[in-house]
């Protein structure tokens, strides 16, 4: 999932019973370019506020083969 898609998902969740959390991480060793990761957790809540569905996306640009 791209950063733009993640932000669109968060924007769509505003004003509804959905909530989104974005976690960004960066790590590496000295001399190498750092690896970056962005996770997007989208929670669907029922009317009582309990989580009944979780969807997780990530930035595929950080994956290597």
- What are 11-61's pLDDT values in tens digits? 665 556 677 788 888 888 899 888 888 888 888 888 888 888 888 888 777
pLDDT at 6: 66
Whether the per-residue pLDDT at 64 is higher than 70: the answer is: no
Instruction: Using alpha carbons only, give the angle 40, 44, 10 rounded to the nearest 5 degrees.
Output: 40
End-to-end CA distance of the chain: 18
Distances (CA, A) of 22 to 27, 37, 38, 56: 17, 10, 7, 10
| Number of domains the chain contains | 1
The single residue listed with the structure tokens 């998902």 is: 9
Whether the per-residue pLDDT at 63 is higher than 70: the answer is: no
Chain-centroid distance, C-alpha 62: 13
| Domain residue limits at 42 | 3-62
What pTM does this model have?
A: 0.52
């Amino acid at each position: 999932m791209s950063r733009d898609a993640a932000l669109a998902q968060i924007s769509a969740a505003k004003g509804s019973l959905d909530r989104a959390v974005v976690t960004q991480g960066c790590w590496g060793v000295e001399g190498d370019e750092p690896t970056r990761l962005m996770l997007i957790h989208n929670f669907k809540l029922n009317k009582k506020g309990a989580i009944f569905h979780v969807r997780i996306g990530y930035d595929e640009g950080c994956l290597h083969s």
